[in-house]
Structure 1
């Protein structure tokens, strides 16, 4: 009887530990469905924060003091850069940007289906506004096959947009029955892209990088989250 009680306690402890571990693992990344406007605001806020931080570094280290040796000047630059990096790292943790994953929806439009090749041509005209490059901050998306960033002039104002770079259309390899099913729910057909955001210094230059990192892309039914196609983004 005593052995059975001990075994029961051990099993309960294991279940509790496994549950706690699962909760910790689930908390590592926070997947958030994010409206485009909210993502744009977040990017602009981070752009402003990075610009202010880099501008402060530039003001502090751009010129060597009159009574400062070159060695002292270089030491001061290194110390200031280290302080900036610590500031960025602290900010990323405080805002949880180091583990937040933002899910953005891009409306998909079915163009035409080639029944012989089983290829559905799909367009996407959605763009999401993003900050543009300035002397103190580079905004970039690491090179990948699906998502890119472009500058443009709209209404006389410079702007930057995140878009899906299909040339000219996305070629979706899909069987006829599923293609027909997708056509029936086209109003709910979207590409979903997961992004992460990072802030860092760019090499030894006095400017920073706002990095918008595309993690994966999927073609989905937005109403029920059914996934027709998905690909990781290297």
Structure 2
């Protein structure tokens, strides 16, 4: 049996109804009972629903949030997160105001937004949080990541604003199919770099780690582990690097992945 399974949230753990199947919870409970560690590996922050998923999957374990920018031990709050370049934060906030786009600015456990409105309100609901818009100047703590939330049609324009000091991680959610979430982290920080640090904390080599995902922001994650698994609903670029492709998220694909991890 493998020592660790890393699991994306949207489109992998959570299906189109924004719920986790009961057989998925049961499969992970069985894996934990046998000693396998489980790490959420999500673009979401360590708040609301994502935090509750992490606690239910592995209550005293290390989990990866914010596309690798936030690495948190959920029982103690201990963090391995790296700060986002300070000089870039203000420049991106100013750019958000000029372009009238929604930019979210995150610490490990809190966030602010540049543009209240429909996308911001719906994203708060997706995260399982009350809609209480906070301005960037009100945010306290160390910024670890920012994120653009834009209409699908604006994705290419945002990605064209590449910066060698930063990593862009575009991902969608079945819960908000009209939006693209483009997470921005410090260069070299991604789900792959984060899961290596988690595996190191557990004393595991990467050949004893499985990762399961569905989106292009999971590409670094799948490339980092010994056993990459793509969901049936995954983007083609992910299926191309996967060792195994399981069923669609709504058809129990994640249960198949967990059962496979128990046999390797």
* More strand by percentage: 1
TM-score for the superposition, normalised by structure 1? 0.22
Q: Taking structure 2 as the reference length, what is the TM-score of the superposition?
A: 0.20
Larger Rg: 1
